[in-house]
Each structure stands twice: as structure tokens, then as C-alpha cells.
Copies of this chain bind each other. A is one copy, B any other.
Amino acid sequence: MNTAKIDPRAIRTRRLITDSFDQLMSYKDFDHISVKDITSLATINRATFYSHFVDKYELADVMLTEKIQEIMNEHFNCFEELDEKMIIKMFQSISQIHKNLFTNCRRGYDTFGQMIEEKVKEAITLIVSHLLKTDNRLEASMFSWALYGAFVEWELTSKETLEDFAKTAASALLQIIDTSLNEKIKVV
């Protein structure tokens, strides 16, 4: 149990930092946000920032992890089938993550976008490898890359609804994990 009571001042300061980072991100590109920007908006001392986070990348990392995890938990529980329906949900959760986090940044051209991509793919890899009940991450990883790639493709064109697009992509995605999936069925 992590019952180590945290000093209320630390909680307050951390919240001030994360809040002002959120606020800055709504109208400024991550790469052009300085630590000074964050701390002066938060009305805290710059030195204090560094006693909470190593640098702004860690801050972004921590916040992304939290937010992405939060959205993922809303969408998935641990005992589901890896089928078309689930793939649709994966596309939708990525979409929601982008809606919530990409207020003003474009994918692939800044650090923040890269971090999101990395974390989302990792989250999906974990879910998939867990559902496949295997420690071998290879197929799960390829699956997540393919799925994320498909999503980016959809974002660029977005001719179909996300759900229709997901259905089209589903079969190819399921092919990737076909072997493991069959093994799992044999065992059952």
C-alpha cells in the first residue's frame, strides 16, 4: 500500500505545474514551451520545477501516461475477445486520445506527437500480448504499429467513418496475430 502521505504543498505545486502545462499546450507547440513559461504561469520558482520533474520531457511523459492510461481504462477491461469489435474500440480510443491531447499540435512533427504515438502503441502492445497470453511481444508490437499506422492513414483521408475504416482494416490486422491466435485456440 502506498500510504506514504505526501506533503500538501507538493500536491499543490504539482497541480500548478500540470495545470499550466495543460493550459500552455492549448495554444502553444510543445517544442516552444520553456520551463520558464510553465513556472511563471504556475507562479512557482523555476528551481522548484526541477525538484518535481527532471525536465519538461518527463513532465510530458508523466502526464501523457496518466491521460492515455485513463482513456484506455475507460475502453478496455482485461477479459475481452481480440476480434473486430475490439479493433474498432482500439481505433476509437486512439481517436479520443488525439481529440483530448492534440488541441493544437500536428502529428509527427513535434516531440509531443512522437511521445503520444510511442505511448499509445506501447499500451496497445500490452493489451494485445496480454490477450494472447504470451510473453512474446513481437506480434503484439507489429499489430500495434500497423494499427497506429492505419489510424494515421485514416486521419489523413478520413473519407469513411472511423468504424467502417476499422472494419476494413480489421482482417489484415488479425492476420498479423493469426499464428498466436490459433495456438491459443488449440490450447483451449
Within 8 A of B (CB), among A38-55: 43-45
A12 in the interface (beta carbon within 8 A) = yes
Number of A interface residues at 8 Å Cβ cutoff, please give it.
6
**A16 closest partner in B (C-beta):** B12
User: A1-41, CB under 8 A of B: which get 1 and which 0?
Assistant: 00000001001100000000000000000000000000000
Complex Cα distance, B44 from A12, in Å, reads 10
Residues of the B chain whose Cβ atoms lie less than 8 Å from the Cβ of A12: 43
Q: Separation in Å of the A107 CB from the closest CB of chain B?
A: 37
B residues in contact with A8, CB < 8 Å:
43-45
Instruction: Give the CA-CA distance A12 to B42 in the complex, in Å.
Output: 11
Complex Cα distance, B11 from A44, in Å, reads 11
A118 to B44 CA separation, bound complex (whole angstroms): 39
Q: Which residues of B contact A11 (CB under 8 A)?
A: 43
Cα distance, A11 to B12, chains bound together (Å): 14
Residue on B nearest A12 in the bound complex, by CB: B43
Q: Bound state CA distance, A126 and B12, in angstroms?
A: 42
CB of A86 to closest CB in B, whole Å: 41
Cα(A39)–Cα(B108), bound, Å: 46
Q: How far is the CB of A128 from chain B (nearest CB, A)?
A: 41
Residues from chain B with a CB closer than 8 A to the CB of A45 are 8
Chain B residue at smallest Cβ distance from A45: B8
CB distance from A10 to the nearest CB of B (A): 12
Closest 3 CB pairs of A and B: A8-B43, A12-B43, A8-B44
